[in-house]
Amino acid sequence: MNNGIISFSSDQENISSAELLPQDKDSDILSLRPKSFKEYVGQKDTVETLNIAIQAAKMRKEPLEHILLHGPPGLGKTTISHIIANEINKGLTITSGPALEKGGDLIGMLTSLGTGDIFFIDEIHRIPKLVEEFLYPAMEDYAVDFVFDKGINARSYRYKLKQFVLIGATTRVGLLSSPLRDRFGIFRTLDFYSVKDLITIVKRSALILKVEIDDKGANELAKRSRGTPRIANRLLKRVRDYSQVKFDGKITKIIVDAALALEGIDSVGLTVLDRNYLNTIIDFYKGGPVGIEAIAATLQEETDTLVDVVEPYLLKIGMIIRTSSGRKVPVKAYDHLKIEF
């Protein structure tokens, strides 16, 4: 702590951030992505719903309805879009809300889609309003409207699109406008994974990466993965490196403990940023309640980072409480941090 400001290592934050990082695009990480729902672990209700929708669409020989996936980062929204494209044997075009800055960007992508192709938009809640309005007729009528000239010479032309399938992914479903949200036929929320499912994912990934890991090592790694497969795979790579350099390459609980201690990740998966977040509320605001803007200002961190990345897991494990007057730290967090309540 320095001059009332809490600092932390960006490397330690990144290693267990659920956000997509450049290292997640490495070929060995991409190879861990399941190719079908038979290989997919967890989210049973969502998988069953999508399987039924895919089979019904195939029986009717119709494209799928538009799909909206909601949940914290790293739970498999992009992976599900890849699987759906594989299951129906159609093309997949991927973009994100912030990348669609102008209507022309969106129209160029829509006009290149074939019948039944998947159009996946990550962070769909961040599409600019003017661009979003082009999606309404595209989703409902499979058409886009062009306006030529201005004033009394203005003319409108409607361009028909192929029947594509839009899959939207969002971490902030409340920020979606009602007209956009209501145009999705299938809406599924992805939840954090259980330790049991994460153990299965860790063992599968270790097998693909040709890394030997015992049951206790897989269990410990799963417990510290914040209920998120993306983090589990990222931590597995870091523990693999540590084991190969410091030991004989086999991953055990002792090696997981040592490797993740080096990364600043504790027994329940909390990072330096998580602990600083909790300590800020305790030290500066007497345990709360306190507004998120005040916490962000003290940490010198973006409010969106705290809301999207830090808070979902802390809420899930009961380390913070949201109230109408702000955030509070319960006794459970004091006990974990070994601070007297």
Structural domain containing residue 240: 195-262
Asked if residue 32 is part of any domain, the answer here is: no
* Residue 157 pLDDT level (bands cut at 50, 70, 90): confident
Q: How far apart are CA 233 and CA 205, in angstroms?
A: 7
The answer on 172 and 222 residing in a single domain is no
pLDDT at 170: 92
Which residues make Cβ contacts (< 8 Å) with residue 319, sequence separation at least 6?
A: 270, 274, 278, 329, 330, 332, 333, 336
Asked if residue 161 is part of any domain, the answer here is: yes
The answer on 143 and 227 residing in a single domain is no
Strands 155-160, 143-148: pairing kind: antiparallel
Asked if residue 234 is part of any domain, the answer here is: yes
pLDDT at 29: 52
- Strands of the chain (E only): list them: 67-70, 92-96, 118-122, 143-148, 155-160, 165-170, 186-189, 321-323, 326-328
The answer on 215 and 144 residing in a single domain is no
Q: What is the mean pLDDT of residues 67-78?
A: 91
Which DSSP state fits 93? E
Q: State which of 212, 227, 262 marks the end of a domain.
A: 262
pLDDT at 233: 92
Asked if residue 273 is part of any domain, the answer here is: yes
- Given a cut of 50, whether residue 59 has pLDDT beyond it is yes
* Residue 10 pLDDT level (bands cut at 50, 70, 90): very low
What is the CA 31 to chain-centroid distance, rounded? 18
Task: Report yes or no: 274 and 314 within 8 Å, Cβ to Cβ.
Answer: yes
The answer on 228 and 171 residing in a single domain is no
Task: Report yes or no: 119 and 113 within 8 Å, Cβ to Cβ.
Answer: yes
Is 305 annotated in the active site? Answer: no
Catalytic residue among 46, 170, 171, 298: 171
Q: What is the mean pLDDT of residues 14-28?
A: 54
For the chain, the straight-line distance linking the first and the last C-alpha, in angstroms and rounded, comes to 21
Q: What is the mean pLDDT of residues 164-170?
A: 94
Asked if residue 51 is part of any domain, the answer here is: yes
The answer on 275 and 173 residing in a single domain is no
The answer on 200 and 184 residing in a single domain is no
| Model pTM score | 0.80
User: Who wins on pLDDT, 122 or 150?
Assistant: 122
CATH code, domain carrying 76: 3.40.50.300
| Residue showing tokens 């990364």 | 263
Task: Report yes or no: 75 and 193 within 8 Å, Cβ to Cβ.
Answer: yes
CATH code, domain carrying 326: 1.10.10.10
Q: What is the mean pLDDT of residues 317-321?
A: 92
Q: How far apart are CA 213 and CA 253, in angstroms?
A: 9
Tokens standing for residue 161: 């699109």
pLDDT at 94: 93
* Residue 167 pLDDT level (bands cut at 50, 70, 90): very high
The answer on 58 and 179 residing in a single domain is yes
Catalytic residue among 46, 78, 228, 252: 78
* Residue 152 pLDDT level (bands cut at 50, 70, 90): confident
Residue 95: φ, ψ to 5° = -150, -175
Catalytic residue among 46, 90, 122, 238: 122
Catalytic residue among 77, 181, 226, 327: 77
- Given a cut of 60, whether residue 237 has pLDDT beyond it is yes
The answer on 50 and 156 residing in a single domain is yes
pLDDT at 6: 37
Q: How far apart are CA 117 and CA 131, in angstroms?
A: 20
Is 298 annotated in the active site? Answer: no
Calculate the average pLDDT of the chain: 86
- Given a cut of 60, whether residue 269 has pLDDT beyond it is yes
Is 122 annotated in the active site? Answer: yes
- Given a cut of 80, whether residue 268 has pLDDT beyond it is yes
pLDDT at 197: 94
Catalytic residue among 181, 226, 230, 327: 230
Task: Report yes or no: 320 and 330 within 8 Å, Cβ to Cβ.
Answer: yes
pLDDT at 4: 41
User: Each residue of 94-114: pLDDT tens digit?
Assistant: 999 999 988 888 888 999 999
User: How many domains is the chain partitioned into structurally?
Assistant: 3
Q: How far apart are CA 261 and CA 255, in angstroms?
A: 10
The answer on 296 and 228 residing in a single domain is no
Is 129 annotated in the active site? Answer: no
CA nearest neighbour of 11 among 264, 314, 226: 264
Bond before 289 cis per omega within 30 degrees: yes
Asked if residue 3 is part of any domain, the answer here is: no
- Given a cut of 50, whether residue 7 has pLDDT beyond it is no
The answer on 152 and 49 residing in a single domain is yes
User: Who wins on pLDDT, 122 or 17?
Assistant: 122
State the DSSP string of 125-148. Answer: GGS-HHHHHHHHHHHHHSEEEEEE
The answer on 163 and 81 residing in a single domain is yes
Question: Other CB atoms closer than 10 Å to residue 227's CB: what's the count?
Answer: 25
Asked if residue 5 is part of any domain, the answer here is: no
* Residue 72 pLDDT level (bands cut at 50, 70, 90): confident
CA nearest neighbour of 336 among 278, 286, 283, 284: 278
CATH code, domain carrying 227: 1.10.8.60
Asked if residue 28 is part of any domain, the answer here is: no
pLDDT at 225: 92
Q: State which of 160, 189, 218 marks the end of a domain.
A: 189
Tokens standing for residue 236: 């597995």
Q: What angle do CA 293, 189, 30 make, to 5 degrees?
A: 90
* Residue 340 pLDDT level (bands cut at 50, 70, 90): confident
- Given a cut of 80, whether residue 247 has pLDDT beyond it is yes
Q: State which of 262, 283, 300 marks the end of a domain.
A: 262
The answer on 199 and 185 residing in a single domain is no
Alpha carbon separation from 82 to 28, 214, 304, 322 (Å, rounded): 17, 30, 27, 35
Is 78 annotated in the active site? Answer: yes
